[in-house]
């Protein structure tokens, strides 16, 4: 029983020890980086203890532990991340804040999600159509805003200076959850809105989020959906199968079709595009060894998509092992719990969030080790994008905390308020 209580903390303790080992041998460590690391450790400890005290051992604790492992690694590798080309002096603080925001938001997002659920429930009392209609309108509005205002001059699709795909991912998730809980006609409307937003993102050259979103929804349908639809079931198998066959055909016969713009674009993206990025990531991993390498040599490209490679470069394959040891129990335990719970809007959102988080993490890792084509998928809890940190935190919060956890928190808040008053 004691081991069961200790086990969720073990990957975190090992990650901190690994980080300290890397820092001790590092000649690049600065006081600034160490301060961020120390602050991160304090926050991670606070989060772990609070969640443990409030919610006990469950998916919330496992989720917090997994996030803490990645965040600790991110804060340790800041000197390395700083020296990769993608970062500047100003961005180092962004990275640090992003990581800390992420950790705190994990908890905060539970509150956000509960407030959201509260309003959604209020809206849907006696009016079951309100939530799906609102979700569909919001989704279409988002699509319209992205279509009209998006700008890709910087290489990323931006709307008013923000990454368009990230809020779109949250909206897509909410709309998908609303579609599942709606009746037949509204489900079709919500699905159409979903398709419109995903299509808009693709048209605006943002392929990463729509791709992982489709993958996440397919996984959700196959494993978490309480209802079955023959057409959807067939499609959920046929779409990936078609995709796989298409990729194989392009791989072996694509050269004969070269000259067709769309074929060339897909081929470049899948097979020859970003070869330098992939080669750089592979070189970086080659040098990492079990406990990492204390050298700037062979560092990977410093874009957010490849932050995980830099972390593994600095902390070694042992760190990757720790991520897996903390992520696998979190994902599996959460899935096990969510598959058994009722199909409420909150649970649907939680299971979809879990699927999306899993797909993002797994795809990014596969991309980093060269087993998946490079599309714009960042790893959660790392990188310089504050928006992505917020999304990561929200996804974790939505998937981690159950309604009973929220109730416990509400009770605790009442207790604290009572003591003060």
Partner 1 sequence: MRYARRKSVFFTIMIICCFMLVMLGAISSIVRAEVPGAASPLEYLLKLDGAVSEGNDYGDILSIDGVPIASGYTAESGEYKYCAVSGWSDIVGSPSGGLIYNCRNILLANGSRANLLLHKGNSITTTLHSTGMRTAQEELAEYGRDVNAYICVVLRDGAVLVSQGNNSYPQEAFFDPYNYDDLYVDYCSSRSLKGSTFKPLTLRMLLLNNEALGDEYSLYNQEFKDFNQATVRGHTIINWDSCISGNYLTDEGGGIMSRTLSLSDALQLSANTYVLRHADKFGLENTYRKMTELYSLNKVIHTEINELSVGKVSSERLAYFPWGQDADLSAVEMCQLYNYMTGGTYSMPFYVAGVTKPDGKVIYTAEPVKVREKELDIELRTDILDNALADTFCSYLTKDQLHRFAKLVNSRRVLAKSGTADLAGESVNRVMMLTVLNEDRTKVICSACMCIDHTYDYDIQNSYMIEKLVAVLNSMGIL
- Comparing CB distances to partner 1, the nearer of 29 and 112 is 29
- Comparing CB distances to partner 1, the nearer of 188 and 279 is 279
- Comparing CB distances to partner 1, the nearer of 263 and 369 is 369
Q: What three-state secondary structure class fits 153? A: coil
In the complex, the smallest distance separating the C-beta of residue 369 from partner 1, rounded to whole angstroms, is 3
Which of these ranges, 15-23, 101-109, 117-125, 322-330, lies near partner 1 under the rule CB under 8 A?
322-330
- Comparing CB distances to partner 1, the nearer of 128 and 370 is 370
- Comparing CB distances to partner 1, the nearer of 23 and 362 is 362
Q: What three-state secondary structure class fits 11? A: helix
- What are the CB-based long-range contacts (under 8 Å, 24+) for 352-355? 352/173, 352/176, 352/177, 352/216, 352/217, 352/220, 352/224, 353/173, 353/394, 353/395, 353/396, 353/398, 353/399, 354/395, 354/399, 355/216, 355/217, 355/219, 355/220, 355/223, 355/224
Among 124, 282, 387, 403, binds partner 1 (CB under 8 A): 282
Q: Could you say whether residue 331 binds partner 1 (CB under 8 A)?
A: yes
Among 289, 411, 414, 415, binds partner 1 (CB under 8 A): 289
The H or E element containing residue 38 is helix 31-55
- What are the CB-based long-range contacts (under 8 Å, 24+) for 217-226? 217/176, 217/352, 217/355, 219/355, 219/358, 219/359, 220/176, 220/351, 220/352, 220/355, 223/335, 223/339, 223/355, 224/335, 224/338, 224/339, 224/348, 224/351, 224/352, 224/355, 225/180, 226/343
Among 185, 244, 248, 297, binds partner 1 (CB under 8 A): 297
Site for partner 1 in 101-140 (CB under 8 A): none
In the complex, the smallest distance separating the C-beta of residue 416 from partner 1, rounded to whole angstroms, is 37
Among 296, 407, 410, 412, binds partner 1 (CB under 8 A): 296
Nearest Cα to Cα of residue 106 among 417, 312, 353 = 353
Contact letters for partner 1, residues 215-254 (x by CB under 8 A): --------x-------------------------------
User: Which residues fall within 8 angstroms of residue 197, CB to CB, at 6 or more apart?
Assistant: 139, 140, 142, 143, 146, 168, 171, 172, 175
User: Which residues fall within 8 angstroms of residue 150, CB to CB, at 6 or more apart?
Assistant: 157, 158, 159, 164, 204
Distance of alpha carbon 409 from alpha carbon 35, whole angstroms? 30
In the complex, the smallest distance separating the C-beta of residue 420 from partner 1, rounded to whole angstroms, is 43
Contact letters for partner 1, residues 342-381 (x by CB under 8 A): ----------------x---x--xx--xxx----------
- Comparing CB distances to partner 1, the nearer of 20 and 328 is 328
Contact letters for partner 1, residues 169-208 (x by CB under 8 A): ----------------------------------------
Which of these ranges, 43-51, 240-248, 289-297, 373-381, lies near partner 1 under the rule CB under 8 A?
289-297
Phi and psi angles of residue 326, each rounded to the nearest 5 degrees, phi first: -90, -30
In the complex, the smallest distance separating the C-beta of residue 5 from partner 1, rounded to whole angstroms, is 22
Radius of gyration of the chain (CA): 22
- What are the CB-based long-range contacts (under 8 Å, 24+) for 38-43? 39/96, 39/100, 40/71, 40/72, 40/75, 40/96, 40/99, 40/100, 40/103, 41/16, 41/72, 41/75, 43/100, 43/103, 43/104
In the complex, the smallest distance separating the C-beta of residue 347 from partner 1, rounded to whole angstroms, is 13
- Comparing CB distances to partner 1, the nearer of 89 and 154 is 89
In the complex, the smallest distance separating the C-beta of residue 363 from partner 1, rounded to whole angstroms, is 9
- Comparing CB distances to partner 1, the nearer of 39 and 341 is 341
Are 286 and 317 a contacting pair, CB within 8 Å? Answer: no
Total site size for partner 1, rule CB under 8 A: 40
- Comparing CB distances to partner 1, the nearer of 168 and 211 is 211
Site for partner 1 in 45-104 (CB under 8 A): 82-85, 87
Binding site for partner 1 (CB under 8 A): 28, 82-85, 87, 223, 282-283, 285-289, 295-299, 302, 312, 317, 320-321, 324, 327-328, 331-332, 335-336, 339-340, 358, 362, 365-366, 369-371
């Amino acid at each position: 029983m004691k081991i069961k209580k200790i086990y969720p903390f073990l990957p975190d303790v090992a990650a901190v020890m690994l980080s300290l080992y890397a820092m001790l041998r590092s000649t690049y460590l600065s006081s600034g980086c160490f301060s961020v690391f120390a602050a991160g450790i304090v926050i991670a400890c606070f989060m772990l203890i609070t969640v443990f005290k409030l919610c006990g051992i469950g998916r919330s604790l496992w989720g917090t532990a997994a996030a803490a492992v990645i965040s600790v690694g991110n804060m340790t590798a800041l000197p390395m991340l700083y020296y990769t080309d993608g970062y500047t002096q100003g961005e180092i603080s962004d990275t640090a804040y992003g990581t800390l925001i992420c950790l705190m938001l994990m908890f905060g997002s539970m509150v956000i999600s509960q407030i959201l659920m509260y309003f959604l429930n209020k809206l849907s009392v006696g009016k079951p159509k309100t939530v799906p209609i609102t979700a569909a309108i919001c989704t279409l509005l988002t699509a319209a805003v992205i279509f009209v205002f998006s700008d890709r001059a910087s290489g990323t699709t931006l709307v008013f200076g923000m990454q368009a795909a990230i809020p779109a991912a949250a909206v897509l998730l909410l709309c998908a959850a609303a579609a599942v809980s709606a009746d037949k006609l509204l489900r079709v409307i919500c699905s159409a809105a979903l398709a419109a937003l995903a299509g808009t993102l693709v048209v605006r050259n943002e392929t990463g989020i729509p791709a992982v979103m489709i993958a996440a929804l397919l996984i959700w349908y196959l494993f978490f959906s309480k209802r079955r639809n023959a057409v959807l079931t067939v499609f959920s198998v046929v779409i990936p199968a078609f995709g796989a066959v298409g990729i194989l055909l392009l791989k072996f016969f694509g050269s004969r079709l070269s000259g067709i713009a769309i074929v060339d674009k897909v081929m470049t993206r899948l097979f020859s595009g970003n070869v330098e990025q992939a080669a750089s990531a592979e070189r970086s991993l080659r040098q990492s060894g079990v406990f990492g390498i204390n050298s700037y040599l062979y560092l990977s490209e410093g874009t957010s998509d490849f932050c995980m490679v830099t972390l593994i470069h600095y902390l070694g394959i042992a760190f990757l092992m720790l991520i897996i040891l903390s992520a696998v129990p979190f994902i599996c335990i959460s899935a096990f719990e969510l598959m058994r719970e009722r199909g409420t809007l909150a649970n649907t959102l939680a299971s979809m969030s879990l699927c999306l988080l899993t797909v993002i993490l797994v795809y990014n890792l596969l991309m980093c080790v060269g087993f998946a084509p490079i599309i714009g998928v960042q790893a959660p809890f790392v990188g310089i994008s504050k928006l992505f940190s917020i999304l990561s935190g929200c996804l974790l919060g939505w998937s981690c905390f159950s309604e009973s956890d929220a109730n416990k928190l509400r009770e605790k808040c009442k207790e604290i308020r009572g003591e003060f008053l």
